[in-house]
């Protein structure tokens, strides 16, 4: 415990800086659907423009490490935070949808590049014996800061104020890292990605990873549109997102124990079933906004642990642990593909069938995952390893950096 506290204190500037980046992300990303709706964009257009944020993230996984390797982590962090701030501020310059689409792509590219840099630092400077506790604290920072961003979004601010506040948060987030006097981490080597190969090795992990991307980031990006399309306010949309995140936060403290005791397959089925029942409740009981807050807690409780469970399942079924880096990279890639497609699909469905299509989207995804998981083999208990309590966010570059440092 003392070791983890010392590590957290020694990296306090990093945590403080990235917390403001997460606030900006929570504000800028969550508000996209609301602002585009106010501009008169169709639901399909909103979904496509929002999806480009995740296309930028996909691009980041392919090219960002090359830039970082040339200029170093400290300079790269300064570059990407500056670009992130500029792109956020430029949203107020025009309401042209093509212009916004380009900016969304750049926001995703810059944000995930910053995440790469921050998590490289954490993994480089944190021993294996305390890494889970340090990354657990990192998750608390992420959930808290992102929720603050969603709270700000719920204040029904103008476009100008939204992006000015976001820009200020990003600029503040760029300052603390300059106080860290530590050597930049090494850059992980580029690894070829083969989804068919990974499917043959860990089909349940790959399927769960894709569903996680489709469900988690579909929620982050489009849940606000789901609420305001029903005629509710921006403030109520912000509360809806925050409650769902609270469910996910609590689930991360519980599913680690469940997966360790009963296996990853059962944990995936249980999480998917809870989210499936919550989704079904939206349809069956025609809930008021208060009831929707209660139901979305359980939706978030189920979906926000799926990517972490996918990673744990992949680690369990690998006979060659040296291949884990390749598998993690492939799972990340599939997760981001799901994230990219999620907003396009949700936007199109809401545009064609109304807000209720958002719920049927989740019912379909989760039903598929439950059925698929049921027919997968269980992993012998002796083969399983301790579950890493990471969200789909913080594990992104964990194993890549661990492998590189060996």
CA atoms of 182 and 91, how far apart (whole Å): 35
Please determine, for residue 263, whether its predicted confidence score (pLDDT) is greater than 90: no
DSSP 216: I
The structural architecture, per CATH, of the domain 2-179+189-401 is Up-down Bundle (1.20)
The pLDDT value recorded for residue 210 is: 93
**pTM of the predicted model, to two decimals?**
0.78
CA 327 to chain centre: 18
Q: What percent of the chain has pLDDT over 70?
A: 81
Q: Are 115 and 393 in contact (CB under 8 A)?
A: yes
CA-CA distances (angstroms) from residue 76 to 137, 201, 357, 385? 24, 35, 41, 35
Predicted confidence (pLDDT) per residue in 18-52, tens digit:
899 999 888 887 777 778 888 888 888 888 998 89
Q: Which of 159, 215, 218, 238 is nearest to 347 (CA)?
A: 218
Among 202-206, 234-238, 368-372, the range of highest mean pLDDT = 368-372
- The three-point CA angle 92-93-98 to 5° equals 95
Q: What is the mean pLDDT of residues 251-265?
A: 81
Predicted confidence (pLDDT) per residue in 45-99, tens digit:
888 998 898 899 888 877 777 777 777 777 888 889 999 999 988 988 888 899 9
Q: Are 379 and 83 in contact (CB under 8 A)?
A: no
Q: Are 46 and 166 in contact (CB under 8 A)?
A: no
**Taking all residues of the chain, what is their mean pLDDT, rounded to a whole number?**
81
CA-CA distances (angstroms) from residue 209 to 60, 119, 298, 329, 331? 18, 20, 19, 11, 6
The pLDDT value recorded for residue 373 is: 93
CA-CA distances (angstroms) from residue 301 to 143, 245, 273? 13, 8, 11
Query: For residues 402 and 264, which has the higher predicted lDDT (pLDDT)?
Result: 264
Length of the chain: 406
């Amino acid at each position: 415990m003392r070791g983890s506290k010392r590590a957290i204190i020694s990296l306090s500037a990093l945590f403080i800086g990235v917390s403001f980046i997460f606030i900006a992300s929570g504000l800028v990303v969550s508000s996209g659907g609301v602002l585009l709706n106010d501009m008169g964009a169709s639901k399909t257009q909103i979904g496509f423009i929002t999806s480009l944020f995740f296309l930028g993230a996909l691009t980041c996984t392919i090219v960002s490490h090359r830039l970082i390797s040339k200029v170093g982590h400290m300079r790269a962090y300064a570059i990407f935070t500056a670009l992130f701030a500029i792109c956020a501020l430029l949203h107020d310059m025009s309401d042209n949808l093509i212009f916004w689409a380009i900016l969304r792509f750049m926001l995703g590219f810059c944000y995930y590049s910053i995440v790469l840099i921050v998590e490289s630092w954490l993994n480089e400077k944190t021993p294996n014996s305390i890494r889970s506790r340090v990354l657990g604290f990192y998750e608390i920072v992420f959930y808290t800061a992102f929720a603050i961003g969603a709270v700000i979004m719920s204040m029904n601010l103008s476009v100008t104020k939204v992006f000015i506040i976001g820009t200020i948060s990003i600029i503040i987030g760029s300052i603390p890292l300059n106080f860290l006097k530590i050597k930049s981490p090494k850059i992980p080597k580029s690894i070829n990605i083969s989804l068919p190969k990974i499917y043959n090795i860990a089909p349940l992990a790959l399927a769960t990873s894709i569903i996680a991307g489709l469900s988690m980031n579909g929620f982050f990006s489009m849940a606000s549109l789901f609420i305001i399309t029903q005629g509710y306010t921006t403030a109520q949309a912000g509360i809806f997102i925050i409650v769902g995140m609270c469910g996910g936060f609590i689930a991360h403290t519980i599913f680690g124990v469940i997966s360790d005791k009963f296996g990853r397959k059962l944990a995936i089925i249980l999480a998917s079933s809870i989210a499936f029942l919550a989704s079904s409740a939206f349809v069956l009981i025609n809930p008021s906004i208060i009831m929707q807050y209660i139901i979305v807690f359980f939706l978030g409780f189920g979906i926000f642990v799926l990517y972490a469970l996918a990673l744990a399942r992949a680690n369990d079924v690998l006979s060659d642990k040296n291949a884990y880096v390749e598998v993690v990279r492939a799972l990340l890639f599939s997760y981001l593909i799901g994230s990219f497609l999620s907003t396009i699909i949700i936007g199109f469905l809401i545009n064609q069938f109304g807000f209720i299509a958002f719920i049927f989207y989740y019912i379909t995804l989760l039903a598929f995952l439950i059925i698929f998981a049921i027919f997968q083999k269980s992993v012998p208990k002796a083969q399983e390893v301790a579950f890493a309590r990471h969200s789909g966010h913080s594990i992104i570059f964990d194993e890549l950096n661990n492998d590189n440092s060996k």
